[in-house]
Amino acid sequence: MADASELVTAKQNSRKPAIKLEMVSRNYQMGKILVPALRDVTFEVMAGEFIVFLGPSGSGKTTLLNLIGGLDSPSSGRIIVNDTDITKLSQAQLTNFRRTQIGFIFQFFNLIPTLTATENVEFAAELVKHHRSAEEILHEVGLEERMKHFPSELSGGENQRVAIARALATDPPILLCDEPTGTLDFETGKRIYKLLRMLNQTKEKVVVVVTHNSAIGAIADRVVRLRDGQIAGTIHNDQPMDPESLKW
């Protein structure tokens, strides 16, 4: 009988890649200097995977997230998301791609300050024809009592949960999280990761988290280290930790 780790590996092996990067590079022109933010990065993120990209400031992790999410275009290489080569898409097609395939969760929440929690979720939901109700999603993230509040009336954790609810509004298969707990306290941060892990496990969402906090890696299926725009190493977690046990 296969043991648990074998089962996990088997499960992983049977998954299709949801995200594939092939020799992706991204350079930025800063005056006369060309700064390589990413250099010939090649890897895959499998369907249903919870992956963490770790790296210090300037390692290229946010650039990587932006490229996967279609917010930016690579200088070279290919990015294939759910069988679509997004490097070949036009601006309009990329917009459509982001609307239906990606849910973004930012470090600073990026909520519209003049809309309530419900309205912030609906702001994204209205982009697609068939969408779940904002109230239902907010209920899922535990904000049923705070739906009519504006961002300025919510705590940091509540704001981030609204942001997560917004990211779920169009039911995208992929969630991209850029330092989602960067501005939150430890306990709140744990709750956020619990939520993300739950979404990954129960709704089979691909969750990509970029962070500099190495402790987070423990809850991921895989941890990819980035340094100077290149992959420096990969660790598979056969037994990812329960976010409740997180300590940093």
Partner 1 sequence: MVALPKLHRKLLRDLTASRAQFGAVVLIIIVGIATFVGSYEAYQNLDSSYEGSYEQLRMADYWISVDYLPRKAATEMNDVPGVVAQGRIVGDVTIDLQLETGEKVSGRVISLPSGEHPEINDVRIESGSYLSPGAQREILLEKRFAEYHQLYPGDWLTIERDSSKVRFRIAGTVVSPEYIWVTKSAQELFTTARTFGVIFMPEERAEEFFGMKGMVNEVNLVLEGGTDPTQALSEVRRVLRRHGIMRLTSKDEPIAVSTRKIDIIQGVRTAYMIERKDQLSNNLLKQDVDGFRQLAVLFPVLFLSMAALAIYVLLNRLVESQRAQIGLMRALGYRTLQIMFHYTGFALVVGVIGSVLGALLGHAIADFLTSVYAVQLKLPFVAVEPHWYVVGLGALIGIIVPLTAGLLPAWATTRMRPAEAMRPPAPRAGHHTLLEVLLPFVSLLPSVLKLPLRNFFRNLRRSFFMAIGVASAIALILVSLSFVDAIESFMHTQFEVIQNYDARLHFQGQGAAATASYIEHLQGIQEAEPVLELPYRLQSGDQVADSSILGLPEDSTMYTLLTLEGHPTTVVEDGILLSIPLKNKLGAEPGDEIHLEPVVGSVGETEKTLAGFINEPLGGRAFMPLQEAQELLRTPGVATGVLLRFDGEPSPALMERLYRLPEVASIEFSGEAKRFVDDLMGFFWAFIGVMLAMGFALGMAIIFNGVTVNVLERRREIAIMRAVGMSQSRLVIILTLENLLIGCLGVAIGIPLGCYIANYFMAQTEMDIMSMTAVIFPRSYIIACVSALVILLVSQIPAIRQVSRMSLPTATKDWSE
Binding site for partner 1 (CB under 8 A): 66, 69, 71-72, 91-92, 95-100, 102, 104, 106, 108, 110, 112-115, 119, 122-124, 126-127, 166, 170, 183
Residue 47 has φ and ψ, to the nearest 5°, of -60, 135
Three-class SS of residue 244? Answer: helix
* Dist CA 189 CA 181 (whole Å): 5
* In the complex, least distance from residue 80 CB atom to partner 1, rounded to whole angstroms: 19
- Residue 12 or 156 having the CB closest to partner 1: 156
- Residue 161 or 166 having the CB closest to partner 1: 166
* In the complex, least distance from residue 43 CB atom to partner 1, rounded to whole angstroms: 20
- Residue 102 or 216 having the CB closest to partner 1: 102
* In the complex, least distance from residue 9 CB atom to partner 1, rounded to whole angstroms: 34
* Dist CA 172 CA 132 (whole Å): 12
Per the listing, tokens 């800063």 go with 30
Beta bridge partners of 46: 17
Helix axes 117-125, 156-168, angle to 10 degrees: 20
Complete edge-to-edge strand list for the sheet that includes strand 17-30:
33-46, 17-30, 76-81, 84-85
* In the complex, least distance from residue 12 CB atom to partner 1, rounded to whole angstroms: 29
- Residue 99 or 227 having the CB closest to partner 1: 99
* In the complex, least distance from residue 151 CB atom to partner 1, rounded to whole angstroms: 11
- Residue 80 or 115 having the CB closest to partner 1: 115
- Residue 15 or 156 having the CB closest to partner 1: 156
In sequence order, the 6+-apart residues with CB closer than 8 A to the CB of 219 are 50, 52, 193, 197, 237, 240, 241, 242, 243, 246
* In the complex, least distance from residue 237 CB atom to partner 1, rounded to whole angstroms: 29
Three-class SS of residue 7? Answer: helix
Question: What is the number of alpha carbons within 13 Å of residue 234 lying toward its C-beta?
Answer: 12
